[in-house]
Structure 1
Amino acid sequence: MNFLFLVLIFLLLWATFDFIYGRKIHLNNLKPRSFPVRHSNFKLYTYGQTLYKELFTDIQHAKHHVHILFFIVKNDEISHTFLQLLMEKAEQGIEVRLLLDRIGSHHLSKQTICKLKQHGVHFSFCHKIRLPFLFFSVNQRNHRKITIIDGKIGYIGGFNIGEEYLGHNQELGPWRDYHLRLTEEGVQDLQTQFLHDWRDDTNEDLLHENCYFPILKKGETSHRFIPTDGAYLQQTFLDLIEKATKELYIGTPYFIPGKKLMNALLRARKRGVRIIILVPKKADHPFVREAKLPYCRKLIKAGCHIHEFLDGFFHAKIVMVDGCICDIGTANFDKRSLYINHEINCILYDSPFLEQVKKEIEQDLKASILLSMDDVSSLSLSDKGKEWIGTLFSFFL
């Protein structure tokens, strides 16, 4: 028993040292990257069936290249359909590059990967587990979801590839998410980000190849892409919160904001900002629902409105400021996205497109219930235990 206890203590100390110093070295080597304000045309998808239909159609019509980065591609029917489409395009002579997160897409078999390569798909995992900081590297995830087709069409948002994103998971039900399709000049920034990630994991540098960057016109909606690599996202969210003068809306599947963002929300409430937060009632990961409860209690006490989505699982990541600035992307409002994951968000500025987004927000809120203090305080012994565990390990949820 004493030996097992010593082993446990050693593992805890090792994991702590590994993560702290691994992250410190990562941050020391990290340089902030930013893209300029662009003007593009956008379309919003909130259900997987419509997104997949148009995404697959765009891929089928590709003439030169298809570049795709997903956090998760499952080993199921829709995933096989997706991968088969990529192989068919590669066989036609189209350049196909597929970059997947090593942990998020761990269900993908070696046989499937070999088959992709045999059919001409350029494939790589990103964020492979690396020495000497094993625990830090296994926690680092490339959570970005990016597609670029012929350098002219781009996709970014919360959907991955899998049957659950079509609402076929009986426990979660319908899957509600936000994903953007864009055309015109902003696509070049998604291309740059993809090729940056591709270079990091394959050492193939295509960033200066003109064939991936066709000349693009300006679209109607001004926007800016914000990539983050386990840093800088917190400042983006702080800036959005501080800009709010009337109303701030946050939609997120995982609400674990940490101290700085929490204090910023409370300051915004004190200056009269109406704060609305939408989270799912159902949880797709252990302890994430309970980990948000300490924050909910403080916010409800301060007069904020926290809603739980009832019509399936809510996975959208969105911040709307005074109805005129909107952030849609891959980052959750939680510590993992803030401090570990590699994300990319799109800040959209006042335009007619935001009216479409507002209609979806209204629909989401109609499908939710408003939480009271009693809802987040009257917990069973089991839920109290889950809250304690969720709070203790909130950094890694």
Structure 2
Amino acid sequence: MTTSSPTIAKRPPQFFWLLLVRWCTIALLLGGAGGCASLPANEGRTPSTFFAQPEITPLGQLVQARRAQATTRSDSAFHLLDDVETALTSRLALIDGAQRTLDLQYYAIHADASTEVLLQRLRDAARRGVRVRILLDDFNSVGADAQVLRLAFEPNVQIRLFNPLPGNRSNMIGRIITSLHDVGRMQKRMHNKLFLADSAWGITGGRNLGDQYFGTGDKQNFVDLDVLAAGRIVRDMAVSFDRFWNDELAYPVQTLLDPEDLDELRKWQPASAARAAEAPKPVLPVTVSPTVLPSVTPTAVVQAERPPMDLRTVPLVWAPATLLVDAPGKVGPGDDEVNAGETVIDGLLNLMQQAQRDVLIISPYFVPGERMMAIYGQLRKRGVRIRVLTNSLASNDAPAAHAGYARYREDLLAMGVEVYEMRSDPETAPGLQGGHAPERRARDLFTGGPGGSKGGSSRASLHSKAVIIDGRLSVIGSMNLDLRSQLKNSEVGLVIRSGALAQEATQQVEQTMATAAYRLERKDHGFHWRAPPGAAFGDEDSEPGASTKLRLLVRMLGPFAPDQML
């Protein structure tokens, strides 16, 4: 049985013909635009490799000294970065400590206050002789965020864009239109996240770079999880970086900028004129030939007053570890199933199938699909406890992904999976406020002091990606437990065998469940969201904190969006 909108039903018959003609015209225009743009030949790239002698650098020697102090057999060490302050200061420490190389691989780097600080430090490192390589997925490098690409014109800095889209970078819609002829390739993205210094220390996890990942977003801030790594495992991370950096899908940024893009870079002005006038140092001044970018206007921010993390004293857990990483070809042209059985998600599912007691899943976008659901069912039949922490509708920044997840809620609960949904209230979100570092302290890094907070009314959104198995094995990385991570995106994850680190991560997740999340329960005609005992908020019988408009949107999306596209 179908229903129709009362408004549309009253329209005269010619309305439908006009509507049909309009959409056909748009489709033809989009199709024509999509066929016009193409990528340049990716020729003349110079291969480069990671720095293979970390032991001769101060960062490498520090790793050796820390290992000697610990008297451990393990050659890799780790520290969880579970709050916005340590997430930022650890990256500053790696930049400031590097003497030879800095390699960054990210899905998104946003042009805002936090990255002004980080990119200023990267520029300073390049000017003291450090080779800086930045590999960035091309999808988000548009509009204001394209300003990040100005760093490519600094001496000693190279930027490559992975799986680029044709067309200029003025806005996202235009770039999507010019890629409609190749939607399959456009859907595949490099989602990896690595931050490496002298091949001795590195960071991976869920965070991209930008205000909302460091607790200073205007409208939204992500609760996220990274891990700081040192020692042998960082060389494995560096090898993975090189595979992507030297792949044919990685284009030097200069080959992709057209005259319109260069004009936009010239026009760029600081977001805050007052802050720019008061700041002592410019950020991202581009030193290039006058014939290329003759009139780039620099900006500035107040430099971070809080010092970087002290790598000499930061607590480290020494443990055996391995790296799960997808091949660059997963993002390339071809069948979605080309790497079936060999992806990061496949490896993670194989580890989960070996669980004996407990599996704890943290995934902001949780769309299991048939195979994952079958594995969860097998684990439950063996008595393995499964707990899942994901976003509520109100905290999810991707309503379509929530629509996909909602399809599985009833079956998950029926098989005995414990499902928790995080609230959108930043006051209860760990790592932003009330966690290891209050949100205000992180904002002070960019505003120069208290009182300048700009995110007090922002909502919290879960972005951490981790699986903890039997309280001894932790997998932390860029992957979500969904079909997009399994079939579309390239991902990376660290597998760490340490009871101590697994216990630390579990405690952090359980704190969120106990203070900032609802437990989902079945009800006769729907669901019940149960608040934690003693919480300042109460139970709910409908999507907590979500507007009627948002609920209707998800209901509309639900029947139509395929799981692998969410």
Q: TM-score, normalised by structure 2?
A: 0.59
Mapped contact 1:288–1:390 kept (Cα < 8 A): no
- The equivalences for 1:198-237 within 5 A come to 198-200=245-247, 201-202=249-250, 220-229=318-327, 230=330, 231=339, 232-237=343-348
Q: CA deviation at 1:272?
A: 1.3
* 1:136 positional shift: 1.9
Alignment of 1:345 onto 2:513: no
Q: What is the match of residue 557 of structure 2?
A: 389
Aligned position for 1:317: 465
Aligned residues: 359
Letter in 2 for 1:168: T
Q: CA deviation at 1:360?
A: 1.5
Deviations 1:154-207 (A, max 9, x none): 11101111111122335435x321101111111111000111111014589xxx
Q: CA deviation at 1:110?
A: 5.2
1:44 alignment counterpart: 80
Q: 1:375 matched to which residue of 2? A: 527
1:237-248 superposed matches below 5 A: 237-248=348-359
Find the aligned partners of 1:356 and 1:93 in 2 and give their Cα distance. 38
1:388 and 1:39 map into 2 onto residues whose CA distance is 51
Deviation for aligned residue 1:99: 1.0
Partner-residue secondary structure (3-state), 1:263: helix
Structure 1 or 2: larger strand share?
A: 1
C-alpha contact 1:65 1:96 (8 A) present in aligned 2:
yes
Cα separation, 2, equivalents of 1:141 and 1:52: 25
Q: Does 1:306 align with 2:419?
A: yes
What SS is found at the alignment partner of 1:255? coil
What amino acid sits opposite 1:339 in the alignment?
L
Q: Which amino acid aligns with 1:236?
A: G
Give distance in 2, aligned partners of 1:203 and 1:9.
30
How far 1:292 sits from its partner (Å)? 0.8
Answer with 1 or 2: which has the greater Rg: 2
Task: Find the aligned partners of 1:334 and 1:74 in 2 and give their Cα distance.
Answer: 24
Answering whether residue 241 of structure 2 is matched by residue 197 of structure 1, we say no
Which residue of 371, 383, 407 corresponds with 1:260?
A: 371
Corresponding residue number in structure 2 for 1:69: 105
Q: What are the ranges of 5 or more consecutive residues in structure 2 without an aligned counterpart?
A: 1-16, 33-73, 167-178, 253-316, 331-338, 424-428, 430-459, 529-540
Match among 76, 79, 84 for residue 120 of structure 2 = 84
* 1: CA distance, partners of 2:85 / 2:143: 22
**Aligned pairs (5 A) from 1:86-165:** 86-107=122-143, 112-129=148-165, 134-165=182-213
Task: For residues 45-97 of structure 1, give each alpha carbon's deviation from its aligned partner in whole angstroms, at most 9, with x where no partner exists.
Answer: 11222111121122111111101111111111111221121111111111011
Is the Cα–Cα contact under 8 Å of residues 222 and 351 in structure 1 kept in the other structure?
no
Please give the per-residue CA displacement for 1:256-298, whole angstroms capped at 9, x wherever unaligned. Answer: 0111001111221122111110012211123222321121111
Query: Matches of 2:158 and 2:203 in 1, distance apart?
Result: 19
Q: Does the CA contact (< 8 Å) of 1:128 and 1:137 recur in 2? A: no
- Structure with higher helix content: 1
Q: Determine the structure 1 residue equivalent to 2:230.
A: 183
Q: Cα deviation per residue 1:112-159 (whole Å; 9 max; x = unaligned)?
A: 423432343111111113799621221111110101111101111011
CA contact (8 A) 1:157 1:179 kept: yes
The alignment partner of 2:208 has SS state of coil
Structure-2 separation of matches of 1:340 and 1:252: 17
Letter in 1 for 2:493: N
Give distance in 1, aligned partners of 2:165 and 2:235. Answer: 30
CA gap 1:271/1:12 in 2 versus in 1, 3 angstroms: farther
Q: In structure 2, what is the Cα distance between the partners aligned to 1:109 and 1:350?
A: 38
Q: In 1, are the aligned partners of 2:111 and 2:147 still within 8 Å (CA)?
A: no
Alpha-carbon separation, structure 2, partners of 1:97 and 1:182 = 19
Number of the residue aligned with 2:508: 360
Q: Specify the code of the residue in structure 2 equivalent to 1:295.
A: Y
**Residue in 1 that maps onto 2:456:** none
For the 8 Å contact 1:129–1:137, the answer to whether it is kept is no
Structure 1 pair 110–292 and aligned structure 2 pair: CA distance change class (3 A): closer
- Structure 1 unaligned residues grouped into runs of 5+: 15-37, 205-218
Is 2:318 the partner of 1:270? Answer: no
For each residue in 1:192-235, what CA deviation from the matched residue of structure 2 results, as whole angstroms up to 9, or x when unmatched? 0111111014589xxxxxxxxxxxxxx82111111124442342
- The answer (yes or no) to whether the contact 1:293–1:387 under 8 Å persists in 2 is no
Distance 1:50 1:283 in 2: 24
Alpha-carbon distance, 1:4 to partner: 5.3
Cα shift at 1:238: 2.4
- Cα RMSD between the aligned structures? 2.9
Identity rate, percent: 23
Distance change in 2, residues 1:167/1:375 (3 Å) = farther
Q: Which amino acid aligns with 2:186?
A: V
Q: Structure 1 residues 251 and 110 mapped into 2: Cα distance closer, same or farther (>3 Å)?
A: closer
Residues 184 and 108 of structure 1: is their aligned pair in 2 closer, same or farther, counting only changes over 3 Å?
Answer: farther
SS at match of 2:527: helix
What letter is aligned with 1:226? Answer: L
Structure 1 stretch displaced more, 109-118 or 40-49: 109-118
Q: Residues 291 and 387 of structure 1 are in contact (CA less than 8 Å); yes or no, is this contact kept in structure 2?
A: no
Tell me, what secondary structure is at the counterpart of 2:230? strand
The alpha-carbon distance between structure 1 residues 138 and 202, as it changes in their structure 2 partners (threshold 3 A), is: closer
Which residue of the partner structure matches residue 26 of structure 1? Answer: none
| Separation in 2, partners of 1:388, 1:132 | 23
